[in-house]
Amino acid sequence: MSDPQFPEDESTAIRHDMHGRWPAAASLDEFRANLAAVHRRIAAACERAGRPASSVRLLPVSKTKPESSIRLAYAAGCCLLGENKPQEACHKWEATQDLSGLQWSVIGHLQTNKAKLVARFAAEFQALDSLRVAQALERRLQQEGRGLDVFVQVNTSGEASKYGLAPEEVAPFLRQLHAYPALRLRGLMTLAVFSPDPARVRPCFSLLRNLRERLRQDVPAGAQLDELSMGMSGDYEIAIEEGATVVRVGQALFGARALPDSHYWPSPDN
Ligand SMILES: *Cc1c(COP(=O)(O)O)cnc(C)c1O
């Protein structure tokens, strides 16, 4: 077996087993080195896919990392950061008011009772998966006089442990969204199955792209379905080959998280 850290076939590299081994970013130099490495890999994946490197946006994910890490990322030029828990994101937003222009993307499941928080500080919300949440966000955004870029989360792996609409639910869902004008539809988001096997991961990404292709013709005026947010530290290169326009990368930039991912992804079952 080949070592997945040094894959022979770069295009099918999955690095989930890097768990606990992503290089730390305790200094600005270390963060910059990680950032440069990820940008190089993004560029290489784009080249393999015949896409311009500018067609992929890197969203650094700072969840669980302290304020000092956020300051490193900002110093390295990152001005939109992803967080999966609204409360943690809001605390970080409050603690970094001195960093002008720093914006926040909430990428994790939202309960309606947290819509007020997200409406206050977020620039983007990537995990929209119910009309109840859309309605709660709309009401709070109207009160704040703000709008919010949103991605609809799709469950492309069929796993009960993943949030998101089933693929066949997306078209009817999008037809309801015009009732929530503060939500600016930008695209679709997914988490692939968590597997070291590219043959299982890739179909999740291609499903999202195919769904977007089918739906983008008849999105309502003002809405867009251009963006595909898919891919994280372990699988973003495959996601780019399958058309990702946004990759959400945490550990490859900020260093390994201490606990396994199940700890950070509360599933609908628990
Ligand atoms: C944590 C998280 C990521 C990033 O995962 P890494 O393994 O740190 O790259 C991406 N998307 C979502 C929804 C997440 O919660």
The reply to whether 3 falls in a domain is no
80-83: strand order across its sheet: 57-60, 246-249, 227-229, 183-189, 148-153, 124-128, 103-106, 80-83
What does the pLDDT read at residue 133? 98
The reply to whether 262 falls in a domain is no
Write the CATH number for 34. 3.20.20.10
Among candidate residues 257, 179, 256, the one with its CA nearest the CA of residue 220 = 179
For residue 5, what are the contacts with CB-CB under 8 A and spacing of at least 6? 15, 18, 21
For ligand 1, what atom is nearest to the CA of residue 107?
13
Taking phi over 0 as left and psi of -120 to 50 as alpha, with beta for the rest, 24 belongs to beta
Find the residues whose C-beta lies inside 6 A of ligand 1. Answer: 61, 63, 84, 107-108, 191, 232-234, 248-252, 264
Q: For a substitution probing ligand 1, which of 61, 156, 191 has the most ligand atoms within 8 Å of its CB?
A: 61
Return d(Cα 228, Cα 239) in angstroms, integer.
9
The reply to whether 270 falls in a domain is no
What does the pLDDT read at residue 8? 41
Residues in the chain: 270
- Range of 198's domain? 10-256
List the structure tokens of 75.
């110093």
What is the reported pTM?
Answer: 0.92
What is the 218 CA–ligand 1 centroid distance (Å)? 30
Return d(Cα 118, Cα 49) in angstroms, integer.
35
What does the pLDDT read at residue 217? 84
The reply to whether 261 falls in a domain is no
List the structure tokens of 172.
């009817």
What is the 84 CA–ligand 1 centroid distance (Å)? 8
Return d(Cα 96, Cα 180) in angstroms, integer.
30
Return d(Cα 270, Cα 234) in angstroms, integer.
24
Q: Are 127 and 110 contacting, i.e. CB atoms less than 8 angstroms apart?
A: yes
Alpha carbon nearest to ligand 1 atom 11, residue: 248
The reply to whether 269 falls in a domain is no
The reply to whether 78 falls in a domain is yes
Among candidate residues 62, 39, 34, 6, the one with its CA nearest the CA of residue 236 = 39
Q: Are 215 and 171 contacting, i.e. CB atoms less than 8 angstroms apart?
A: yes
Domain count, the chain: 1
Return d(Cα 187, Cα 151) in angstroms, integer.
5
The reply to whether 198 falls in a domain is yes
Planar angle of CA 36, 41, 42, nearest 5 degrees:
95
The reply to whether 237 falls in a domain is yes
What does the pLDDT read at residue 17? 65
Q: What is the mean pLDDT of each run of 10 residues along the chain (270 residues)?
A: 40 65 93 98 97 97 97 98 97 98 98 97 98 98 97 96 95 95 97 93 98 90 91 97 98 87 55
